[in-house]
Amino acid sequence: MQGTTQEIRDILRELLSEVAELKERVMELERHLNLSHPPPPSRAPIALEAESYENIGRIYTEGYHICPVAFGQVRDEGDCLFCVNILERK
């Protein structure tokens, strides 16, 4: 039994060492990736026209979510803060 326990400990040490090496390699690859490929430029928010706001406002008043969190689902419990935030962006 003592020999088996020691074998398991040795295997665990080897695995932990290998995991540490893999973590270092991943960090190195991520640094290389970030240096060779700069992040894409951020996109400007899409400006909605008045008609679009009217349409999403109508959908909201009909009782549906217009927010990305629950788009198209029925609103059961009053106002949704996410939806209201979208409507107030005018």
For the question of whether the overall pTM of this predicted structure is more than 0.95, the answer is no
Q: What's the Cα-to-Cα distance from 25 to each of 19, 37, 67, rounded to whole Å?
A: 10, 18, 40
Which of these, 54, 87, 10, lies nearest to 75 by C-alpha position? Answer: 87
pLDDT 10s digits, 25-84: 999 988 888 776 666 676 666 666 777 778 888 898 999 998 888 888 998 888 888 888
- Both tokens of residue 10? 């040795």
36 or 11: whose pLDDT is higher?
11
